């Protein structure tokens, strides 16, 4: 919240300064759009899907097998002795805990890798933004503003440059 307030105040000061000095050039970039719309973000998503597809498939197969075994157990439970029933319930519970642990590990690994990929995209986009600033002779480029007019939004330029 404080960060957004500081950025907003900075942008407001920049706008006031721009009106005082007509030759000041300001640009604004929306990092969320970059992470949603850029080709690099789409490539990262495809890369992650391929990277984790086998683990997801394995978990899906294990979940289906566990569900089938639970259904078989429920059909046979009336014919089982107390000892057999308890042993079978324990085995199924252990398998379910193991499956849940593997799912949690997958989610954690996927989130970690997604964050790495997004961080990489943001670092590359920051380099591109600096390059655009130098070439376009910008005095200030801000990320994340409350309101951005189309005349100062350079997000499309960054997304296009990321695609090259």
Question: pLDDT tens digits, the chain, 164 residues: what are they?
Answer: 555 644 555 555 555 555 545 688 999 999 999 999 999 999 999 999 999 999 999 999 999 999 999 999 999 988 989 999 999 999 999 999 999 999 999 999 999 999 999 999 999 999 999 999 999 999 999 998 888 888 999 999 999 999 87
CA 159/CA 36 separation, integer angstroms: 10
- What DSSP state is assigned to residue 24? -
Exposed, middle or buried, 95 (CB in 10 Å: 0-12/13-18/19+)?
middle
| Residues linked to residue 27 through DSSP beta bridges, in sequence order | 141
CA 164/CA 155 separation, integer angstroms: 15
- CA angle, 99 as apex, 95 and 101 as ends, to 5°? 115
CATH architecture for segment(s) 2-162 = 2-Layer Sandwich (3.30)
Q: CA 125: distance to chain centroid? A: 16
């Amino acid at each position: 919240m404080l960060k957004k307030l500081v950025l907003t105040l900075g942008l407001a000061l920049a706008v006031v300064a721009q009106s005082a000095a007509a030759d000041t050039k300001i640009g604004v970039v929306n990092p969320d759009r970059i992470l949603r719309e850029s080709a690099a973000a789409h490539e990262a998503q495809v890369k992650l899907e391929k990277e984790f597809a086998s683990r997801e498939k394995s978990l899906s197969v294990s979940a289906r097998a566990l569900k089938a075994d639970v259904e078989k157990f429920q059909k046979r439970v009336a014919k089982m002795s107390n000892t057999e029933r308890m042993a079978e319930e324990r085995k199924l519970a252990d398998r379910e805990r193991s499956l849940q642990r593997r799912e949690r590990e997958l989610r954690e690994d996927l989130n970690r890798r997604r964050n790495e990929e997004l961080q990489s995209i943001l670092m590359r986009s920051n380099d591109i933004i600096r390059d655009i600033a130098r070439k376009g002779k910008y005095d200030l480029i801000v990320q994340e503003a409350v309101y951005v007019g189309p005349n100062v939004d350079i997000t499309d330029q960054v997304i296009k440059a990321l695609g090259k």
